[in-house]
Amino acid sequence: MTNLKTPLGLFAISYLIYGIVMNIRMFTEQMWPTYLFFISMVFGILFLFLNKPTKQLKNYKYWQIIIGLIPVTFFFIYMQIVNSNSEYDSNVQNSIKENTTYFKNEIWIDEKDTLAGIEIKNRRWIMFYKGTETDSSDIYDYKVTDKLPEFADTKLKPGEFLILTNKSDTLKYEILGYNKEFLNLMYFPRGNILTYKKEK
């Protein structure tokens, strides 16, 4: 037992007890299943094996403390990443709003190809090409957002972004300009500019 009074020995016991207790709670209280508690037990067993060899090191107590804190440090970093991703997803979802007044029911014709165009009708974004039949893959729900962090830093430059979605695809654009005559969009991630003229 004297070997367990070292820093690494105490870490090993702590990881083992924590892993065992949390595994029991996971089953008895029907907590969300995770391997983290099993990993905690594995670290506890590993540190028990490392306890004696590391005692041969000079200033071994400091080294054992560093080794014992490694899993906690990685877990802390992991949770920070998970939380930041969750916060990002939440912010994006909160920033997205179904804007039924942003676009009016209108038809826009591609400036470069007059056979191609967009019809905005009843909260739907419909892409068409004259002479071909429009199917369900050409019809999108649209949302307007003021944030699109994966493509634009809106802290430096505020913007308005368009997200089109249907069952098979998601398209993202920045709204560069929108008035009675023109609709200008930048398509992400390629960055090409699309210009449409309002059909008269």
Q: Average pLDDT for consecutive 10-residue bins of the chain (200 residues)?
A: 74 88 75 70 89 86 89 82 56 47 87 94 92 92 80 60 91 90 89 90
How confident is the model at residue 32, as a pLDDT?
Answer: 55
Beta strands 124-129 and 182-188, pairing class: unpaired
How confident is the model at residue 154, as a pLDDT?
Answer: 53
Q: For residue 183, how many other CB atoms are within 10 A of its CB?
A: 22
Alpha-carbon 182 to chain mean position:
33
User: Please, which contacts does 90-98 make with residues 24 or more away whose CB atoms are closer than 8 Å?
Assistant: 91/147, 91/149, 92/145, 92/147, 92/148, 92/149, 95/145, 95/146, 95/147, 96/143, 96/144, 96/145, 96/163, 97/143, 97/144, 97/145, 98/123, 98/143
What is the domain partition of the chain in residue ranges? 2-94, 106-198
